[in-house]
A and B are shown apart, each in its own frame.
Chain A
Amino acid sequence: MIKAILIFNNHGKPRLSKFYQPYVNTQQQIIRETFHLVSKRDENVCNFLEGGLLIGGSDNKLIYRHYATLYFVFCVDSSESELGILDLIQVFVETLDKCFENVCELDLIFHVDKVHNILAEMVMGGMVLETNMNEIVTQIDAQNKLEKSEAGLAGAPARAVSAVKNMNLPEIPRNINIGDISIKVPNLPSFK
C-alpha cells in the first residue's frame, strides 16, 4: 500500500501532500524529515531510501524522483513493487504534463486541486487505481467538461443549449423523416 505521497520543492516547501493513513499531528514533521533525507542525496544514486522513522516502521520505503525543482516522494510498504512505483511516478508526472501543458512548479501552486484530482484518478485510498495514462486523461477531461458546463458566465451558453435540449417538447417530432416528402420546386427565374 502507498502510505503517503509528497511533493516538495528543492527548498523543502511542500507543494502537495496526500496521506493515506492518519498521521494527525506529525504531517509537518514527516514532510520535514523526508525532505532532509531526500535532499541530501546526490543526483545519480538510487531512488530508494529506507529509514523514514516518523512515517513508521522498517517495512516502509521512500521511493522518489527528482524533476527540476520538485521532488516526488512516495512512501510505500513492502507490498508495492519498487520499480513499479517508480514507473507510477513517471506516469503521474507525464499526466500532469499533459493536463497542464508543460507543467511547472507554479501549476502545482495555483492548481493544487487539479493536481489532487489527477492523483485521485491514479491512486485511491493508498492503492493504485489506474496506470494507463490515456484512461486517466480521458476521465480528467470528462470531469473538466462537466465542470465547465456548470461554471458561471462562461458556462451560460452551454447551459442554455442544454436547457433547450431538455425542454419537454413532446409535440415536436424528434427526427423528421424527409425521405417521403418531395418538394416540387417551381422553376424560378434565377437571380443571376
Chain B
Amino acid sequence: MLGYDISWAAFNIIEVMSASKFTFKRIGYLAASQSFHEGTDVIMLTTNQIRKDLSSPSQYDTGVALTGLSCFVTPDLARDLANDIMTLMSHTKPYIRKKAVLIMYKVFLKYPESLRPAFPRLKEKLEDPDPGVQSAAVNVICELARRNPKNYLSLAPLFFKLMTSSTNNWVLIKIIKLFGALTPLEPRLGKKLIEPLTNLIHSTSAMSLLYECVNTVIAVLISLSSGMPNHSASIQLCVQKLRILIEDSDQNLKYLGLLAMSKILKTHPKSVQSHKDLILQCLDDKDESIRLRALDLLYGMVSKKNLMEIVKKLMTHVDKAEGTTYRDELLTKIIDICSQSNYQYITNFEWYISILVELTRLEGTRHGHLIAAQMLDVAIRVKAIRKFAVSQMSALLDSAHLLASSTQRNGICEVLYAAAWICGEFSEHLQEPHHTLEAMLRPRVTTLPGHIQAVYVQNVVKLYASILQQKEQAGEAEGAQAVTQLMVDRLPQFVQSADLEVQERASCILQLVKHIQKLQAKDVPVAEEVSALFAGELNPVAPKAQKKVPVPEGLDLDAWINEPLSDSESEDERPRAVFHEEEQRRPKHRPSEADEEELARRREARKQEQANNPFYIKSSPSPQKRYQDTPGVEHIPVVQIDLSVPLKVPGLPMSDQYVKLEEERRHRQKLEKDKRRKKRKEKEKKGKRRHSSLPTESDEDIAPAQQVDIVTEEMPENALPSDEDDKDPNDPYRALDIDLDKPLADSEKLPIQKHRNTETSKSPEKDVPMVEKKSKKPKKKEKKHKEKERDKEKKKEKEKKAEDLDFWLSTTPPPAPAPAPAPVPSTGELSVNTVTTPKDECEDAKTEAQGEEDDAEGQDQDKKSPKPKKKKHRKEKEERTKGKKKSKKQPPGSEEAAGEPVQNGAPEEEQLPPESSYSLLAENSYVKMTCDIRGSLQEDSQVTVAIVLENRSSSILKGMELSVLDSLNARMARPQGSSVHDGVPVPFQLPPGVSNEAQYVFTIQSIVMAQKLKGTLSFIAKNDEGATHEKLDFRLHFSCSSYLITTPCYSDAFAKLLESGDLSMSSIKVDGIRMSFQNLLAKICFHHHFSVVERVDSCASMYSRSIQGHHVCLLVKKGENSVSVDGKCSDSTLLSNLLEEMKATLAKC
C-alpha cells in the first residue's frame, strides 16, 4: 500500500472482506485490491467469499466485489468465477452489468478459454439500452481487438452502426481507435469509413474526437495502397487539421499534432514536407516532449540540400540540452537522419566524420557504441574518406585521455574502439604512424574496458607491421628496431590485463614481436611476412548474411556429434570424475600458458594458487594488494588533467567549416552546370523561348563528394532486415488470439462449480439423498439450455454476419437494413463439383445436432466423416443407454431425475443399411441421374437441387443441357438474360464412367404441397464412331419433406411452442413395424429432416422447420407392432402432406 509491503496482513484482510457490513466489506476489498497479487497465497481462500458477494442481493456488495476482483484476479479465480460473472452480465441493474462486462476482460486475460463461451453475450451488450454498459462493452472489445484485430473483423458492421448512431464521445473515440486497428486488415473497410470520418472531422467540436478521427483516417490512408479518387483530398484535410493543432497555443494539441504528423510522414512524406517551417519551429520549443516529437518528424524532412543545415541546428541543441535523455535522443536522431537509406542525403562525408567526432565530446552519453558503429561503417563503405577518417581517428586516439578520463566514461570510450580499429586497418593512410602507435601503447590504455583493449592490441600489430614495412623500404634498420623495442617494452602491460581476451592476444603478439626482434638482430628482412599477416580487404557483412551460407550436404545440424551422454552414470560417481578431470586439465593447460621466458608469470600463477589454497600458510600479502604492486601499474605516470583545456581538441577540424566548404563546392558545381547549360542554350537560343530563367536546383543535382560503397548483395535474398524475432512468445495477449467466428462446440462451456459430479446424479443408487437438490436441478438445467440456445442462435447469426461482412463491405451506400439477402453464389449460377458453398451452408445449418445422422450419410460416396470419432460418440451413447436401462428398474417416482433423456441429437442406431439421400431421377443407357433436394435457411423459399450425373456409357457426354418446365409454384433460377424456355447448361463434361454433381436453385412459392416438375436432359454422346444427340426425360419430385431443414430445438422452447396453441394437429398410425425404435427415429430424421428433441423410452418428440419458417413438431410413439405419429404444425396442409409422406416411409419398414 502506497508502495509499502503489507503482505503480512493478507489473512486479516480476507477476514475483513467477509464482514457482513458493507462499510467493512468495502474496506476489506479495497485493501485486497491494493495489496493482493498473483503471488499472494491466501488468495485462494477468497473464492467462495467472492462468489457469495457476487450473488448478494445488495448491488453495492456485488459492485465492491467486482471492483476488488478486477485488481487481483488470478487464473484460478477467473476459472472458478467466470460463470458467476457471466450471469451478472445480464443483471437487472446497469450498475452491476457494466462492472461485470468490464471485468470480463480481466477474466479473459487470465483464463483465455472463457473468451469463446462468453463472447456472444459480450457482443449482445454492445446493444445494451444503458449507455454505460454499452461503453463498457465497447471498451472491452476494443482492448481485445487491439491485440488480435483479425478475429474481430466480423464485428465491423455492428461498430459501424454504433459509430454512426452514438453520441457519447468516449465511446466514439474507442470505436474509432478500434477501426484504426482493423483497417490494415481489410482495406475495403477503410474505403467505407473515410466518408463518415471526414464528416465527423468537419462537424465535431471535441478536439479529442477530432484528433482520433484524423488518426484513423491516416491509418485508413496507409492501408489503402492505391485506388482512392479523393485520396489526396483526405490527406490534405488531415495535414491541414494537424497544422491547426500544431499551431494551437495549447501545448497538448501541439504535441498530438506532431505525433499524428509523424504517422503521415511514413507514407506521404511529400505532404508533410510542406510544413517544414512549422516543425523546425517546434524544435525550439521549450517543452521537451514537443521537441522530441518534432525530432521524429525531422527524419522525413531532410534532403541533400538541407541536411547540413538541419544537423547544424541539432548540434547547437546538443550543446544546449541539459537532460541526458534528451541529448541522447538528439544524438541518435542525428545519426538516424544522416545514415538513413544508406547515407542517401550525405553529400560530403568529411563533414559527417567531423560531426561524429564532435559528438564524441558529449559527456555521459549512452550511445558511444552508436557513434563507433557509424565511424566503422562509413570508413569501410566510403573508400575515398579513409584517409581523412584515419587522420581524425588518430587525433582521437591521441586525445583518448579526454574521452576515457571523464568520470562517466560509460559510453563514449566505445568510440576508441572504432578509432583504434580504423587506424590499424587503414594504417597506410596514417601520416605519423609512429606517433599513433605510441598513443595506442600508452599505459593509460589499460584502464579502458577489456574489449577495447583487445582491439587496441590487435591493431597495434597492424600499425607495427606497416611501420616496419615503411622503415625497411626506406632502409632504416635502426628505426625498425626501435619500433620493435617499443613494442617489446609496452606490450607486457596488456599481458597483465585482467581481461582474458586482452591477455591472450597480448601474450601471443609479444612472442611474435620478440621473435621478430631476434630476426631483426640478424638483419633478416621481416616486414613482408609481418604485413602478410594482415593482407586482404575486409568487407561489410550484413547481420543476417549467415543465412546465405548453404548448409553443406550431408551435414545434419540436429544430429548428435557424440553419442548422447548415458544416464547410467550414477550420482555419486560424478564428483570423483569431476575431480579427476580437473587434475588432468591442469597439466594440460600449463604448457600452453607457460612460456620459457615467462617465469615470473608462472611464479605469480603459483602464488595465486597458493593464495587460493586454504591449507597453505601464506607469507605473502593478500592477492589484491599484490596486484597493485605489479610493475606495470607502478610505472603509470599519473597524468594531471588540466581542467582548463578547451573541449575542442586542437587540430580537429570543426564541422562548421565543412558547411561553408560544401556550399562552395555546390556553388562551383552549379556554376559548371550553368555554364554547360548556357552553352547548350546558346545553341538553341534562336529556336526556343526561355521558359525558366532560374536554374532550379533539385536534390538530384547535388552530387555527393564521395561515393558510398554499398554492396548490394550483402543480404541474402530470403532474409529481411527484421523478419521474425519480433514476436514475444510470452505475450499474455497471444493466448487471446482465438477465432470467435467458429461455432461453439458443446464442450466449450464455462466450468460451473458443482458439489457433485454429474456422474453421480446419473447413477441411480445415489439418487436418494438428492431429493432436495432435485427441485433446484431442473431450473439450472433449464438455464443452461437457454444459454446454450442463445449461444447457438448467436452462432448462427454470426455465421450470417461473417457472410454479411463481405456484403456489407462490398456495397457503397451505408447499410440500410439489408433490403435483399446477400447473393449467395448459388443463385442460378451453377456451382460445380462435389463440395460447394451452398452445400457447406446446409451442413452448417444442420450443425452438430445432426449427430448420428451423418453416419448414414457418411457412407455416401463423397462424404467421409472421421470414423474413430464416430465410434467414440457411439460408445458414449451406449453408456447413456445403459444408464437408462438401469433407470427403468427404478420406481417411477425417481424416473424423472434418473433417466437422462436423450436430448438434442438423433438417436443412436445399431445397424442401419447404408442409405443415401440421393434418389433416382431417371436413367437410360447413357446416363443415370440421381438427385437430392435441400432447403437452406438463409434463402427462404429456395431449395437447392443437387443432381448427380453418372456416365454409364463408353462415350464422352458433352454439351449437356437441363431444361425444366416451370410451374406456377416452382421456378428454376436461371442465369440472367435467359428465357424460361432455354435450357441451363451443365457446367461439365463427363468422360466414360465418371460422375459429377451440379446444383440448381429453385424458387418455390408455396411449400405446403408436394409437386413435380417435368424436365429434360439433352446431351451429345461422342465416341469413336461419331456423336449422337440424346435426351432423357425426368420428373423432379419436390416432396414436402424436402422443404424441411434439420433444426435443433430444446425441450423448453419445444414445450413453449406446443403450448402456444396456434398449431394445427393431425396424426397417423402405421401397423406392422418390426424395426427398432431407434432405427425408426433415425429414418425419420434422415428422410424427413427432423431432429429429436427429447426421447424417453419408446416415445420421442421431434422437431423441424420448413424453409419458410413453419414449425413442425412430432410426437412419435411405438407400440407393440405399430407406430403412431402425432404432428403439430403451423400449417395444416403441410402437416397432412408430411404425414402422408412419412406414412409411406414407415410402411417400408
Residues of chain A whose beta carbon lies under 8 Å from any beta carbon of chain B: 1, 14, 17-18, 20, 22, 24, 27-28, 31, 41-42, 44-51, 79, 81-84, 86-87, 113, 116-117, 120, 124-132, 135, 139, 142-143, 146-147, 150-151
Q: What residue of chain A has the Cβ atom nearest to residue B287's Cβ? A: A45
A48 engages B208 (CB within 8 Å): no
Task: Produce 1/0 per residue, B43-70, CB < 8 A to A.
Answer: 0000000000000001010001011001
CB distance from B310 to the nearest CB of A (A): 22
User: Contact at B177–A81, with CB atoms within 8 Å?
Assistant: yes
Measured between C-beta atoms, what is the minimum distance from A119 to chain B in Å?
10
By a CB distance below 8 angstroms, the chain A residues around B27 are 113
The one of A24, A45, A46, A79 in contact with B39, judged by C-beta atoms closer than 8 angstroms, is A24
- A87 close to B99 (CB less than 8 A): no
Residue in B73, B252, B286, B287 whose CB lies within 8 Å of A86: B252
Beyond A45-B287, A46-B255, 6 extra complex contacts between A and B, CB < 8 Å: A27-B2, A41-B287, A47-B251, A125-B73, A125-B103, A129-B136
Best-surrounded residue of B132, B251, B256, B289 (most CB of chain A within 10 A): B289
Interchain CA distance A44-B285 in the complex, whole Å? 11
| Cβ-neighbour of A28 out of B3, B173, B207 (below 8 A) | B3
Chain B residues near A1: list those with CB within 8 A.
143
Enumerate B274-299 residues with CB–CB distance to A below 8 Å.
286-290, 292
Which B residues, 190 to 245, have Cβ-Cβ distances below 8 Å to chain A?
207-208, 211-212
List B contacts of A113 (CB < 8 A).
26-27, 30
Partner of A125 from the list B34, B39, B70, B173 (CB cut-off 8 Å) is B70
Residues of A close to B22: CB separation below 8 A? 143, 146-147, 150
Shortest Cβ gap from A124 to chain B (Å):
5
User: Which B residues are in CB contact (< 8 Å) with A150?
Assistant: 21-23
- Report B-chain residues with C-beta under 8 Å of the C-beta of A120: 30, 64, 67
A125–B104 Cα distance when bound, in Å, is: 10
The answer on a CB contact under 8 Å between A83 and B255 is: no
- 4 nearest CB pairs, A to B: A125-B70, A83-B208, A46-B251, A28-B3
State A89–B500 Cα separation when bound (angstroms). Answer: 57
Indicate if B124 sits at the interface (CB-CB under 8 A): no
Taking the closest CB of chain A, its distance from the CB of B970, in whole angstroms, is: 55
Contact status of A48 and B105, CB under 8 A, knowing A84-B173, A143-B60: no
Tell me how far the C-beta of A55 lies from the nearest C-beta in chain B, rounded to whole angstroms: 13
The 25 sampled A-B contact pairs (Cβ below 8 Å) are: A14-B2, A22-B37, A22-B38, A28-B3, A31-B3, A44-B251, A46-B289, A47-B252, A51-B325, A79-B143, A79-B177, A81-B177, A81-B211, A83-B252, A86-B252, A113-B27, A116-B30, A120-B30, A129-B99, A130-B132, A142-B60, A143-B60, A146-B58, A147-B23, A150-B21
- The answer to the question of B254 belonging to the interface, with a C-beta cut-off of 8 Å to chain A, is yes
Known contacts A50-B289, A146-B22: A79-B142 contact under CB 8 Å: yes
Which residue of chain A has the shortest Cβ distance to B5 in the bound complex?
A25
Within 8 A of A (CB), among B1000-1025: none
CA distance A1 to B286 in the complex (A): 30
User: CB-CB < 8 A to A132: which residues of B?
Assistant: 132
CB distance from A16 to the nearest CB of B (A): 8
B146 touches A79 (CB 8 A): yes
A1–B290 Cα gap in the complex (Å)? Answer: 23
Say whether A46 contacts B254, CB under 8 Å: yes
The CA of A38 and the CA of B250, in the complex, are separated in Å by 18
In the assembled complex, the CB of B256 is this many whole angstroms from the nearest CB of chain A, namely 6
Choice from A17, A24, A49, A128 contacting B139 with Cβ under 8 Å:
A128
Q: A50-B292, A81-B173 are in contact. Are A125 and B106 (CB under 8 A)?
A: yes
Find chain B residues with CB under 8 A from A135 CB.
Answer: 132
Set B58, B208, B292: member contacting A84, Cβ < 8 A? B208
CB-defined contacts of B3 to chain A, threshold 8 Å: 14, 17, 27-28, 31
Q: Is the CB of B289 within 8 A of A127?
A: no
Q: Is B105's CB under 8 angstroms from A45's CB?
A: no
- Contacts A82-B256, A84-B173, A125-B106; A46 near B287 (Cβ below 8 A): yes
Distance of A161 Cα from B484 Cα, bound (Å): 107
Query: Interface readout for B172-183 with A: 1 if CB under 8 Å, 0 if not?
Result: 011001000000
By beta carbon, the residue of chain A nearest B73 is A125
Considering only CB atoms, which chain B residue lies closest to A15 in the complex?
A: B2
Cβ–Cβ contact B102 & A127, under 8 A: yes
Q: Nearest residue in A to B322 (C-beta to C-beta)?
A: A40
- The residue in chain B whose Cβ has the minimal distance to the Cβ of A31 is B3
Closest-CB distance, B148 to chain A (whole angstroms) = 13
CA distance A28 to B951 in the complex (A): 83
Q: Check if B102 sits within 8 Å of A83, measured CB to CB.
A: no
Residue contact B99 to A124, C-beta cutoff 8 Å: yes
CB distance B98 to A129 under 8 Å? yes
Tell whether B1050 is near chain A: CB-to-CB under 8 Å: no
Residues of A within 8 Å of B174, CB to CB, are 81
Residue of B nearest to A26 (CB): B3
With a cutoff of 8 Å between Cβ atoms, the chain A residues found around residue B23 in the complex are: 147, 150-151
**Separation in Å of the A59 CB from the closest CB of chain B?**
11
Q: Which residues of A contact B170 (CB under 8 A)?
A: 84, 128, 131
Tell me, rounded to whole Å, the shortest Cβ–Cβ distance linking B740 to chain A: 19
Q: How far is A79 from B139 in the complex, measured between Cα atoms in Å?
A: 10
Residues on the A chain within 8 Å of B927, using CB = none
**A81: nearest residue on chain B (CB-CB)?**
B173
B272 at the A/B interface (Cβ < 8 Å)? Answer: no
Chain B residues contacting A50 (CB-CB under 8 Å) are 289, 292
